[in-house]
Amino acid sequence: MIAEILAVGTELLMGQIANTNAQYLSTRMAEIGVSVYHHTVVGDNLDRAKAALSLAKERGADIVLISGGLGPTQDDITRDVVASCLGKSMNISDEIVEHIRSLFTYRGREMPENNKRQAMVIEGATVLENPRGTAPGQYVAGDGVHYFLLPGPPTELKPMYEEQVLPILRRLQGEENLVFASRYLRTYGIGESAMEIKIQDIVDSQTNPTVAPYASEGEAMIRLTASAATEAEAQALITPVETAIRERIGKYIYGVDDETLPVKVGKLLRAKGQTMATAESCTGGMIATMITDVPGCSDIFWGSVVSYHNDVKHGVLGVEESVLREHGAVSSQCARQMAEGARRTTGADWAVSVTGIAGPGGGTKEKPVGLVFVGVAGPNGTTVEEYHLRGDRHQFRLRTAKVALYDLMQRIQNDSER
Amino acid sequence: MIAEILAVGTELLMGQIANTNAQYLSTRMAEIGVSVYHHTVVGDNLDRAKAALSLAKERGADIVLISGGLGPTQDDITRDVVASCLGKSMNISDEIVEHIRSLFTYRGREMPENNKRQAMVIEGATVLENPRGTAPGQYVAGDGVHYFLLPGPPTELKPMYEEQVLPILRRLQGEENLVFASRYLRTYGIGESAMEIKIQDIVDSQTNPTVAPYASEGEAMIRLTASAATEAEAQALITPVETAIRERIGKYIYGVDDETLPVKVGKLLRAKGQTMATAESCTGGMIATMITDVPGCSDIFWGSVVSYHNDVKHGVLGVEESVLREHGAVSSQCARQMAEGARRTTGADWAVSVTGIAGPGGGTKEKPVGLVFVGVAGPNGTTVEEYHLRGDRHQFRLRTAKVALYDLMQRIQNDSER
């Protein structure tokens, strides 16, 4: 099957937000073996949106995934566009009106009348519920094409896809008698091109499962996707290829599927009944934010001290004034005392610290932008590593947070209780 | 003038990378008043890329900005596609071959023969130099359309745009004798639909400047874009419309253009010579991360204590054990003592605290998921506000961080030194 991904929203064409939904939906299509040949973005313009929808059909799309344009204002045109292209009418759903009204009531506000637009349902459409927002999605088929109308905010679109769109696509695929299964192998410490060289022959020779490497901000991932008559058969096709890949680059693989670095660190700590804290300078709380983004982290995460100013490094974390004076805040000695101070202050079993120069300003010849020290203090002592990371301020902070989590993960894994 | 933004690359359709170039180029087009009606992504496929290019011309584009497909492999088809659509030939540039060869020599490597593909120049094209990579860009006009062939990597595309594409566009605009100016008004505390009701007549009646509202995660923004013979005249057209909007919803407007909440808080503090800290529970360091994402924040941001565990709330921030026992960690009393403790511990002039229930677990009937207390401690005392926010865990945390920054901003603004 072929899918086209269409985003509706003038804010995308103005560059105010990025079309992250296109990447997300593309990844999901690749996982289930649906081909994507085009992404299109149009503004909140009835004629251009209609033309884009017709074009998708002309270009042979079986599935059109549309994001955005489901809000309450006159600018939110997606419902009208799809109804018009299919020659179908729309009806207001009292049930949806009541749902939206209840959301406003919960916040102690009156529902503005224009919100009723969001309750217009295309004739014959299946309503896709949106517990995270006011605009429900819709699924409607016509002239052999399957249209999915999805909300623009990724936080609403993603769960709607997982919970409601994917089962419908699976059913449509089931009519083709094929089931797809995917597995992700998460690696750290090997670049995408180095990884590709090591497994290129496997990537090239495999057709079922297909093997695809991805890279993002210092991490690299390998996706294996197999199709078969049953889920179990598809999984059985994946296993030997996964084994072959692990024989080549197993030492770089730290997790599978949704096992990100913060998730993996949490699992390791939970298994040992231990806890952690962070002491952050240049990352400014980003490591703590990543850890606490995982639900249920409160049993392993005690807290963090973001010590941007030296007074906080000294006063809260107990970094010695002589260290700050003689070696500076960006030094191995300071990273060590920050980690040990955070461990002592919070009472956690482990603490990871970072101190570095994020830029764009503040670099010197001896301590250039990109220099960072990562300390890990644990039950059996403290280690410090020095790194030189590339990228702009945001990339540097993100890469620093990841390398710190990776160092912590390795220390926890290798720690034998003495 | 109208521009269309076309990206070429199968990796985009597979979801392996995001099309960040489209957002970047869209923002740049909005800045100079060039309208963008479509973004398109196609794979490394000659026929589909040719069709997309023809379509851009049919749809009335004066400018086509193409990213990607300029590399050395057979898959890199952009040069061939544009030459073919314009009916022009290509010639190899010895100068570019030598430039590429020198890059390989510098890295101590032989230039692979296929790299000569990158030196193919379309008849009549201007070469856009690429000091940051091997693939140069090209600018060529034909049949009234201006084509810009740009490299895919954003680190190469962005400087090429700034240094070489923008001057050409300015020259083309100069021939039209029109200059564009934009202003963004940032609001907080008013939903997009409520805002639209208040200013709909202004939005509808204005053509120069155009007025467009946008929303994202609790914030809403209004863009005004005007065109005139000079920058000053364009700005003069914007001013009265901005005034009219401010008369209606002025109390919700906190900043203009790039003045986000963290930027605004930083400016206010800097003007007063004051500093801040945060004490975070449910946001886990996100407020500190947002503040430190702004370069140069070290003169106003002292640090943060992420007190996830009650031991940290008590031990580091000094929250009384009786408060934790009798009122619980998610309480007005705890938020107050967290803010005051962070102010005392870090020595900053201001501290903002948050304690709430992010979910999905941990909610009770009395303290449901979404409940959050925000405390602000300053030179003239402490205030605490109670909020009930919607959204999944990630949305809740983001909205909590924003409401906390907004409360802090208001307190700083309204604070009269006594």
Domains of chain A: 2-174 (3.40.980.10), 179-256 (3.30.70.2860), 261-414 (3.90.950.20)
Structure tokens at A187: 């690696």
Comparing CB atoms, the residue among A26, A293, A304 nearest residue B394 is: A293
Q: Name the β-bridge partners of B207.
A: none
Residue A173 has pLDDT above 50, yes or no: yes
pLDDT of residue B33: 80
* Confidence band for B301, pLDDT divided at 50, 70 and 90: very high
For range B14-28, the mean pLDDT? 90
pLDDT of residue B394: 85
Residue A316 in contact with residue A306, Cβ under 8 Å? no
Q: Report the alpha-carbon distance of residue B360 to residue B311 in Å, rounded.
A: 23
Percent of chain B predicted with pLDDT > 70: 97
Q: Do the chains contact at A42 and B40, CB–CB below 8 Å?
A: no
Q: Do the chains contact at B39 and A292, CB–CB below 8 Å?
A: no
pLDDT of residue B219: 78
For range A78-107, the mean pLDDT? 92
pLDDT of residue B105: 83
Q: Do the chains contact at A303 and B316, CB–CB below 8 Å?
A: yes
Residue B300 in contact with residue B270, Cβ under 8 Å? yes
Residue of A nearest to B290 (CA): A284
Tell me what the pLDDT averaged over chain B comes to: 91
3-state SS of chain B? CEEEEEEECHHHHCCCCCCHHHHHHHHHHHHCCCEEEEEEEECCCHHHHHHHHHHHHHCCCCEEEEECCCCCCCCCCHHHHHHHHHCCCEEECHHHHHHHHHHHHHCCCCCCHHHHHHHEEECCCEEECCCCCCCCEEEEEECCEEEEEECCCHHHHHHHHHHHHHHHHHHHHHHHCCEEEEEEEEEECCCHHHHHHHHHHHHHHCCCCEEEEEEECCEEEEEEEEEECCHHHHHHHHHHHHHHHHHHHHHHEEEECCCCHHHHHHHHHHHHCCCEEEEECCCCCHHHHHHHCCCCHHHCEEEEEEECCHHHHHHCCCCCHHHHHHCCCCCHHHHHHHHHHHHHHHCCCEEEEEEECCCCCCCCCCCCCCEEEEEEEECCEEEEEEEECCCCHHHHHHHHHHHHHHHHHHHHHHCCCC
Q: Do the chains contact at A71 and B193, CB–CB below 8 Å?
A: yes
Residue B200 has pLDDT above 80, yes or no: yes
pLDDT of residue A23: 94
Residues in chain A closer than 8 A to B293 (CB atoms): 284, 393-394, 397
Residue of B nearest to A396 (CA): B293
Residues in chain A closer than 8 A to B30 (CB atoms): 14-15
Size of interface A-B (CB pairs under 8 A): 287
Q: How far B127 CA lies from chain A's nearest CA (Å)?
A: 27
CB atoms near residue B97 (< 10 Å): 15
For range B275-291, the mean pLDDT? 97
pLDDT of residue A216: 64
Q: Do the chains contact at B306 and A288, CB–CB below 8 Å?
A: yes
Comparing CB atoms, the residue among B25, B293, B391 nearest residue A132 is: B391
Within 13 Å, how many C-alpha atoms sit on residue B127's CB side? 19
Q: Is the predicted ipTM greater than 0.90, yes or no?
A: no
Q: Name the β-bridge partners of A151.
A: none
Mutant choice from B8, B21, B26, B399 vs A, greatest count of A C-beta within 10 A: B26
Task: State the greatest distance between any 2 C-alpha atoms of chain A, in Å, as a whole number.
Answer: 77
- Lowest mean pLDDT across A239-248, A267-276, B199-208, B238-247: B199-208
Residues in chain B closer than 8 A to A274 (CB atoms): none
Residues in chain A closer than 8 A to B309 (CB atoms): 275, 298, 301-303, 346-347
Comparing CB atoms, the residue among A7, A26, A288 nearest residue B14 is: A26
Q: Which of A93, A140, A88 is nearest to A116 (CA)?
A: A93
Q: Do the chains contact at B289 and A285, CB–CB below 8 Å?
A: yes
Higher pLDDT, B245 or B229: B245
Residue A215 has pLDDT above 70, yes or no: no
pLDDT of residue A170: 87
Collapsing DSSP to helix, strand or coil, A220 comes out as strand
Q: What does the CA dihedral B305, B306, B310, B312 come to, rounded to 10 degrees?
A: -40
Most confident of A108-112, A218-222, B274-278: B274-278
For range A344-361, the mean pLDDT? 94
Residue B295 has pLDDT above 60, yes or no: yes
Residues in chain B closer than 8 A to A312 (CB atoms): 277, 302-303, 345-347
For range B32-45, the mean pLDDT? 93
Residue A42 has pLDDT above 50, yes or no: yes
Residue of A nearest to B2 (CA): A13
Q: How far B286 CA lies from chain A's nearest CA (Å)?
A: 5
Residue A417 has pLDDT above 60, yes or no: no
Collapsing DSSP to helix, strand or coil, A135 comes out as coil
Q: Report the alpha-carbon distance of residue B418 to residue B397 in Å, rounded.
A: 34
Q: How far A289 CA lies from chain B's nearest CA (Å)?
A: 5
* Confidence band for A418, pLDDT divided at 50, 70 and 90: very low
| pLDDT, tens digit (0-9, with 9 covering 90-100), for B306-333 | 999 999 999 999 999 999 999 999 999 9
Structure tokens at A48: 């251009």
Residue A218 has pLDDT above 70, yes or no: no
* Confidence band for B418, pLDDT divided at 50, 70 and 90: very low
Residues in chain B closer than 8 A to A397 (CB atoms): 292-293
Residues in chain B closer than 8 A to A284 (CB atoms): 285, 288-289, 291-293, 301, 304
For range A159-163, the mean pLDDT? 94
Cα angle A239, A245, A246 (rounded to 5 degrees) comes to: 85
pLDDT of residue A192: 67
Q: Report the alpha-carbon distance of residue A315 to residue B223 in Å, rounded.
A: 45
